[in-house]
Structure formats: structure tokens, C-alpha cells
Structure 1
Amino acid sequence: MALRLSLAAARRPVVAAPRVAAASTGAVRGHAVAVDPTPASSSSSSLASDAQSGVRHNWKRAEVQAIYDGPLMETIFRAASVHRLHHDASRIQLCTLMNIKTGGCTEDCKYCSQSSSYKTETKASRLVAIEPVLEAARKAKANGSTRFCMGAAWRDLAGKKSGFEKILKMVSEVRAMDMEVCTTLGMLSPDQAKRLKEAGLSAYNHNLDTSREFYPEVITTRSYDDRLSTIDAVRNAGISVCSGGILGLGEKAEDRVGLIWEVSHMPEHPESFPVNTLVPIEGTPLEGNDPVPVQTVLRTIATARIVLPKSIIRLAAGRHTFSETEQAMAFMAGANAIFTGETMLTTPCTGWDADKAMLDRWGLRGMRSFEDKESVEVPGEAKAEAAVSA
């Protein structure tokens, strides 16, 4: 019996992801380091470098659709293998999101409780003062979050000069805490993006939400190309792009594929790709939408991981509706970031203690900040290599 087992083991293929060496820019596996992307003037050399590392910008939509439609377990296995080529699979980036200006937005996004177009329980408020924001950032850092995100319910920054100055101060002060800083403030001009970069902004969130084809069914006050223009301004300013979508808007599978395909053709893939699931809010046009099946979330995450191998895939809004086991499957499929903390804009968020306990049960750890000089060795890897060499 022992001999039979030994022979079976010998025939079983061993799959091992090669170690990823640090790049010349100082990037190392397991770090959220893509916070200062290559300037636009160097885009050709960046694309060449991407090609050498297996990152593609020429995906055909049919190719992405074939990945999405494949057998789910096989797709997750493939995504997990790709994930290990580019990331430390034991690390999850912990991000905290604070709403610094609630409600009163002139956009008509059909999913959003902060739109002035709909009657919801969310009440409009003024921009939060600086000190409460800094206190929230300190608390987030003390609880293990390495990225602090600030969201304001605005269409754009037109007529908000004093508010923008206050936000620049917030960005500067949070960056001084050795935290990564992200904002989402609506549409930006190139000059506004440049000023945010100078203040120390690490990343800017501007979701495409869905495919170009389905987008007009969800939003009419801002075009798809408006969103892409802001993303271009952010990238050209040297700020990392955070851009993903929302599942459960009434879209079809080809729209989820269209979203992933769209961002895959950007000059640089987004540093992070949030996968949100709709939290239906009473008073919005989408209040009656059905919950998103976990299989849909897993297919989307796994497909995004394969097509966007170096991007951070963030399991974002709606995560609280999935069980711990379902979230672990998402991590297996390639998700490596979550929002954690007291609240998430106007929807629920799992708290730090619960999330840290969950990660501990699955052998996962928080990702280091880009400022952190902690060793990047994977636990047990050095010992295993020493044993092999001995």
C-alpha cells in the first residue's frame, strides 16, 4: 500500500509559482507599491516591460468572455496560479473608507443613496472638518489599515475651491502618517489631479461601474468618456488609478466582461480594481434588484485576476452579505484587498476585529504599507528553502 501511494505521489504534478524578484523601482511582492506609476511619457517602455512580465493590453473581448464562461473551479485554479506569480498570496490589503462629504450629489447614479435625484434616508451634509478626518485615519492605522480613502459626494470640484484646499490638507496630513491615501471626488481636471499628486495622494478612485454599452442604463449625467478622461488626468499626474465596477445593476455577463476588457486596454492597468456588489437602498431606482450570487462575484474576480495580473483586486461594497467561507473563496480566486472599519460611505462594513480574526483563521495577513520596510519573506518560505538546500 505504501509503495502504491509513493508511485501515485510521484506521478502527481507539482505546481509551484516561481518567486518574483524585486523590480528596479523597488517593487516587491506583497507590497501595495504601485502608488507612483510610470509617467505617461514613458508609456512605451512601460508597455514593453509589461509584455515581458506576461501582462497584456491587447486582450480580445471574446478571450475575456471565454475565461469568464469557463468551468468555475478551473477558472479559480488558473486565477490562483496567476495570483501567486505576481503577489504574495498570504497578504490582504486593509483599506478604510471615510465619507467626508455626504449626499446632495447632482449625479443620477441609480444605485446611489447620495444622489439628489432620489428620496432616501441619506441627508446632505457639509464637508467634514480636518481634525475628525485625521483622527479617523489614526484609528484606521492603529487597527491595521494601510490605505485611508476619503470620498465626497460631488459631481466635480467646480466652485469648491475652499473645500478642495481643505482636502489637499487632509491628503498631506494623512500621507505624513506613512499611510497610503486615496480619494474619490468625482471628475477631475489635469490641474486638480496634479495638485492632489503634489499633496501626496497615492491613488484616485473613479469606477467605470459597468460596460460602455450598459452604462447609459445606470447613469445619464456623466458619460463613459467623461470617466475615462478623469482616469487619464489621474494617470498622467502620476497618481495610481483605482477603477472597477458594481455587480448587480441589472447587467448581463457580457457587461461584466466588457468592464474588465475596457480597463485591460488602458495604457497601464489600474493599480487596484474594486469589485463592488450592489447593496439595494430604499428610494433608489435599483432598490428592488436581486442579490448578486456568490458565483458571479467569484467569476468576476477570477477573470479580473487573470486579465489584470498585477492589479490589486478589492472585494469592496457588499462584502458583508457573504459568508466567511465565500469570502475565502474570493481570496483564493485572486482578491487581495478589502475595506474594513466602522462604515463604508453609506453601506455597512465589517469591523477591524472581525476581519483580523477572519484573516487569522485562514492564514492571511494584512498587506504592508508602501512606506513599511518590513521583511517581505513569505512565512515558512525561507525555512523551506534552507531545508531543500541542506
Structure 2
Amino acid sequence: MSADDGRIRHDWVVDEIAALLGAPLLDLVGRAQAVHRQHHDPNAVQRASLLSIKTGGCPENCAYCPQSAHHREVDLTRERLMRPEAVLRLAETARAAGATRFCMGAAWREVRDGPAFDAVVEMVEGVDALGLEACVTLGMLKPHHAERLARAGLKAYNHNLDTSPEFYSRIVTTRTYEDRLETLAAVRAAGIDLCCGGIIGMGESLRDRASLLQVLAGFDPHPESVPINALVPVAGTPLAGRREVDALDLVRMVAAARLTMPKARVRLSAGRAALGRDAQILCFLAGANSIFYGDTLLTTPNAGIGEDADLLAAIGPLADKAPAFAAAAS
């Protein structure tokens, strides 16, 4: 079965995906664009807004993350969980700026029952009532947490795998790959969409990148949203000395994600601020059809709304109607 026929597969092997990542760039992008057009409106780019609702002090030791309590030299102001009414005001602002999904992130290791989780549920209910897709990232959770979030109207839960199973212990040691998979299983069982991707540029090999995509493409169904992040090196974290990811490596990762998960939204996420306009457009051509829209991604810089408005105007007219198109094509 060809990688280019647009069929939904869950039996990808790492060697196949590594071959995609190593293919001639123009050939790879052309193949990915053809599959993209089978399942998506090529002019539809979803705009998602991301807000840190509780910042810093996370007990996990993820090497890339400035919010980890283990990285004490990071210049970051810790902030308590925001009040629901403040979050909903910002959600209204994001909607007015053109966002259709509102994502809320709390620097927690795991969800715990109590007033803080009650407040997050209230936020989800409010965002849903505004007509926005509500998404949260709260760390690990149990099935009853996922079920409660689903009843509140949660559209998607973000829980990235970060990297390959083989490279993972070089990046995180305070939780296992299996812990992440258990959370994803609980989310899926509750009927919530998966938002699950990874990060490149942390010192992993091309084969590690292929292995990450193989795990994601092995999910049945595939994640509805696949964020492709490029490492943003932050002073004080163990990965502060890493060089910026080559833009074309990001293009290749987007294209391989599109070929292996044809119906997923592939989201250009962290690291996009370092890309020029032309590189971002090449990512769209390779199959990306969603961006985080706003000046900050949790705690790292993002392209400004004005810059994004200019970018989207340059490639427009755009329509944020990918779900309806995908449903009609399926």
C-alpha cells in the first residue's frame, strides 16, 4: 500500500516513515500536498489560541520545559490558577481575533479532584458556551476526570508524547511513556478528541522522529490534532544550548505527519516564531492546517497576531472549515 494513496493506515513501520523523512524535499512536499487535498480544504487553516492558566512549579523534569520546578535557574514568574471569569474574558478576546479553538494549559503533574479541577471544569463549560472548541492540557488524568471534562463540553485534550519511546528517558524521567499512553487511553475512552504530537530538535535522531510518528499513526483512530513543535531553547533548562531546528526539518516532519495521518489536523506549534513567512507557507503546502494564534505559547514567544494576520492575508482567502470538509471527504 502506497504512502501516497491517502488511505488510513495504522500499520506503519519505522523504516517506512524514516524513508519519508529522508526523501527528496520537493518530492515529499508534493506527495503530502496531494494527500492533504484528498481530506482537507487546502485553504483552511484553523487558528487556536493557547493560554497558561497556571504557570510554573511543575514537579516533572521535562528537559525542554521552563515551567519545571527542577530548573531553578529559569527566569519565570510562578502564577496561581487563574479565576474562571478572567479566563473567559480572554477566550472572548481570542474569539474576536479569529480563533476557533481555545486551549488552556496548567503546569500540573496530574489532575486531582478538588476546587482547582472544579474551576477548570467551569472554564471548559464557559469556553464551550462561547462557541469555541475547548481544549485543555493538565498532565496525567484518570478515567473519571476525563469523563467529567467530556460532560463539561471539552472538545480535545492535549497530551504530547514528546519524542520516541527510545529517546524519551533522555528528556523526562519523572513519568514514563506508558503513563502518557494511559492518559491518552482514558481521554479516548471518554469520547474526547486527542491532541497529541511531539517536539523535534532535542538531540533525537531522524529514526527517533520516525518512531514518534509511528506511535501516533498506530493509534486507532489517529489523533484528531497533531502538534509539531520545534524546540525553543530556554535559558536555565538542560536543553538551553541546543541550536534552533532547521526550518526544512520542520517541513519534512509536517509532510510525514500528513502522509501517515491523512485526516488529522497538523498544527504548527512551538518554534513557529523563528520561521520566516516563506518557511511557514511551505509547511502549509506540506500539510499543516492549524496554528496557535497569539503572542505567547504558555511561556515561550509566538508570532504576533498582527504578523499572523498579514501571513494569512497573504495566502488567503482562508476558511476555517476543515472539519466539515473532512467529514464530507470521508
Q: Do the two structures share a fold, i.e. TM-score over 0.5?
A: yes
Partner of 1:239: 192
Give the counterpart of 2:307 among 348, 354, 359: 354
Alignment of 1:320-335 (within 5 A): 320-335=273-288
> d(CA) in 2 for partners of 1:208 and 1:225?
10
2:278 counterpart letter in structure 1: T
> d(CA) in 1 for partners of 2:117 and 2:87?
14
SS across alignment from 1:365? coil
> d(CA) in 2 for partners of 1:107 and 1:364?
42
* Alpha-carbon spacing, 1:164–1:338, altered in 2? closer, same or farther (3 Å): same
Partner of 1:157: 111
Partner of 1:146: 100
SS across alignment from 2:296? coil
Give the counterpart of 2:289 among 326, 336, 340: 336
* 2:41/2:321 contact within 8 Å kept: no
Asked if 1:64 corresponds to 2:17, the answer is yes
Asked if 1:295 corresponds to 2:248, the answer is yes
**TM-superposed deviation, 1:342:** 2.9
Partner of 1:184: 137
Give the counterpart of 1:307 among 260, 267, 292: 260
**TM-superposed deviation, 1:351:** 2.4
SS across alignment from 1:251? coil
**TM-superposed deviation, 1:69:** 1.1
**TM-superposed deviation, 1:180:** 0.3
Partner of 2:77: 123
TM-score (norm 2): 0.94
The number of residue pairs the alignment matches comes to 322
Moved over 3 A (4+): none
Partner of 2:159: 206
> d(CA) in 1 for partners of 2:317 and 2:169?
39
Which of structures 1 and 2 has the larger relative contact order (alpha carbons within 8 angstroms, sep 6+)? 2
Asked if 1:136 corresponds to 2:90, the answer is yes
> d(CA) in 2 for partners of 1:54 and 1:252?
27
* 2:41/2:322 contact within 8 Å kept: no
SS across alignment from 2:104? strand
* 2:46/2:320 contact within 8 Å kept: yes
Give the counterpart of 2:320 among 342, 355, 367: 367
Output one character per residue of 1:199-233: Cα deviation in whole Å (capped at 9) or x when no partner: 00000000000000000000000100100000000
1:123 counterpart letter in structure 2: T
Structure 2 alignment gaps of length 5 or more: none
Structure whose alpha-carbon radius of gyration is higher: 1
Output one character per residue of 1:28-76: Cα deviation in whole Å (capped at 9) or x when no partner: xxxxxxxxxxxxxxxxxxxxxxxx9710011122111111111111000
Computed over aligned residues only, the root mean square deviation of the Cα atoms, in angstroms, reads 1.7
**TM-superposed deviation, 1:363:** 2.3
Tell me the percent identity: 46
> d(CA) in 1 for partners of 2:84 and 2:239?
34
> d(CA) in 1 for partners of 2:33 and 2:6?
17
Partner of 1:14: none
